[in-house]
A and B are shown apart, each in its own frame.
Chain A
């Protein structure tokens, strides 16, 4: 198990400090760096949980047709072209012609076959060999199939009933829209699920009167509904509930009595997307029109600035606006040198012809990286600076604040972490380094940096490279520092700790300083005027792996 690091987004907590990392719930607050966004206005990290989603376009994932939002509703959020999903296995179905009439002579019939083939056409699954002829769905021509099928869907009693229900409630919704709308406008709740946010904004747009999801305002809306209920005439269902019940019931019992294999019953997942009164039989499943997918733009939850804005084209992977955290925060990579060394040894021995089975090799790998109680291990943190300015980084082990400290003290102190206490520099990012790695002093090292470097070297000389706590390596825009973890004899559990990373960066212009798109500042500019320094800190969780048990200790020592 490789050590890993994740970044903290404070959206789930009231305080800016992260939860203790050994709580299982804390994993929801930590994200890999590349999943995070950065709002320049708020100067804060945002994650997929807290951003506001807006649908910027719909497309079919199979034919990649971009569906105009006007027709999305009419087509019931599904592709209205030739895209179908197999009701059995959810694979996409292909339209195939019937076999040409067999006149005994294979060769001539093959030549005669045209591109269109012979009607009737049916849908065929390449994966599970289901075909629509099984359920008596065939087509006279191979185009516009979805439109033909949607006619059936729309004329189904359930969907007709639903249409009538909508019609019935429309006057009510329109009347209540005036009273409900003001309650919809207050600031969006920070903890709202992005899915509810997207759904509620879509609902608010499509159906007048449905306010945006707002947990605080809910009670008030409820009261409003009560006030209006009296004005509504009673709804009379067209479908008799008795007939709907008769549809299942005894017939189902009869069917289940004569069941020969479990596959004859359609699974819940297969019936899920249909209405509530579908048949149990697997043989009754109908092809499904493929649900559309959407491209989404993302906004900062507090200032509403756009963080992600996709290009119009559905399959383009470029974005008009893309403020991802990876362009602002230094990327950190964690490694355990002792595990790497062990891996290296194993690779050498395996290339030399010592053949081990894959499973054994994997086991060995795990043993090699094990954290054995009673030992101390160095770990390396590699910081990569994405900014066009050099930065100074300071690390601190974050102590959980508040009353939980004492209760958790015993568990937390199962291991001791030592981090470099002095600030260390990471050079600026420059495109040139993509090509040339060894021009180390291109930007001129800060004197501060030299000092720390010397310190790092000193400790290297004194205690041996692997034992040092300090800078290990500096190259291009990467600085590797080393920390140390001491595991007491009776320790167990995971070595996981919160780390506060704060960095200062030079800013000549506070407006654009952290903009990664800004040009590289020239050297003269940097030296002539006293640079204004800005500070930014963020929390991370470092997971070094699990402490090995005693039994495993033996194993890993012996080979």
Chain B
């Protein structure tokens, strides 16, 4: 029903698990980034996997679930703070079916499943976004905010606006899956 969203085959790398990552995205420290599969990282996105916790051993900095979308020009940066006099970065965990609109900056600690974040948002450090929440376009969520489940937040600073319908999980799931199937290479290049 809906029209496909075409991309040029040369621009995107597709992994075995169906992740599609733009070559024009800046992925720092890829060894510290986990993509769940069927996740799209659009061009111009910046994902800072290199900002890892100090200390020895392997550390996951940013983990994304399945059917996520990191929009064009997004910045994903792990949150940091000075705790007991030590400066440190903390991991960022993002669930399944999370869409992040273009040009948003995300420094959240946790983002649940089925979360929609609009365009041009700023998600402050250590923000916790629970399942099925929605952040409207152009919202600024200050650091340490908690966004409860099934809540719509908007404004600057982001505030609770309304409860989302009970069928939000199904809707968002269908939407994100549909987006992934619509996201196709341009047929003329086949």
Which one of A59, A91, A127, A344 contacts B3 once the chains associate, using CB atoms below 8 Å?
A344
Q: Are A340 and B168 in contact, with the CB atoms below 8 A?
A: no
**A326: which B residues are within 8 A, CB to CB?**
167, 170-171
Given contacts A64-B148, A126-B143, A317 and B3 within 8 Å (CB-CB): no
Give me the interface of B with A, judged by CB distance under 8 Å.
1, 3, 6, 8, 82-85, 114, 124, 130-132, 140, 142-146, 148-151, 157, 159-160, 165-171, 186
- Closest partner residue, chain A, to B132 (CB atom): A317
Given contacts A324-B166, A351-B186, A90 and B157 within 8 Å (CB-CB): yes
- Closest partner residue, chain B, to A293 (CB atom): B148
Q: Are B146 and A63 in contact, with the CB atoms below 8 A?
A: yes
Q: Are B146 and A113 in contact, with the CB atoms below 8 A?
A: no
**A317: which B residues are within 8 A, CB to CB?**
114, 131-132, 149-150, 168-169
Q: Are A315 and B3 in contact, with the CB atoms below 8 A?
A: no
Interface SS, B side: loop
Contacts beyond the supplied A92-B142, A125-B142: 5 A-B pairs with Cβ under 8 Å: A115-B84, A126-B124, A314-B149, A317-B131, A324-B167
- A459-499 interface bits toward B, Cβ cutoff 8 Å, 1 = contact, 0 = none: 00000000000000000001010000000000000000000
Give me the interface of A with B, judged by CB distance under 8 Å.
34-35, 59, 61-64, 89-92, 94, 110-115, 125-128, 293, 308, 314-317, 319, 322, 324, 326, 333, 335, 340, 343-344, 347, 351, 380, 382, 478, 480
The smallest beta-carbon distance between B42 and chain A, in angstroms, is 14
Q: Could you show 26 A-B contacts with beta carbons less than 8 Å apart?
A: A34-B170, A64-B130, A64-B148, A90-B157, A91-B142, A92-B144, A92-B145, A94-B144, A113-B84, A114-B84, A115-B84, A126-B143, A127-B140, A127-B157, A315-B130, A315-B149, A317-B131, A317-B149, A319-B166, A322-B166, A322-B167, A324-B165, A324-B166, A326-B170, A344-B3, A347-B6
**A35: which B residues are within 8 A, CB to CB?**
165
Of B85, B143, B169, chain A has the most CB atoms within 10 Å of the CB of B85
* 3 closest Cβ pairs, A-B complex: A127-B142, A91-B157, A127-B157
- Closest partner residue, chain B, to A325 (CB atom): B167
Given contacts A115-B84, A126-B143, A315-B148, A61 and B6 within 8 Å (CB-CB): no
- Closest partner residue, chain A, to B156 (CB atom): A127
Of A64, A127, A316, chain B has the most CB atoms within 10 Å of the CB of A127
Q: Are A90 and B159 in contact, with the CB atoms below 8 A?
A: yes
The CA of A480 and the CA of B160, in the complex, are separated in Å by: 38
Which one of B1, B84, B85, B165 contacts A382 once the chains associate, using CB atoms below 8 Å?
B1
Q: Are B142 and A335 in contact, with the CB atoms below 8 A?
A: no
**B83: which A residues are within 8 A, CB to CB?**
115
**B8: which A residues are within 8 A, CB to CB?**
351
The CA of A273 and the CA of B49, in the complex, are separated in Å by: 44
**A64: which B residues are within 8 A, CB to CB?**
130, 146, 148
Of B8, B83, B142, chain A has the most CB atoms within 10 Å of the CB of B142
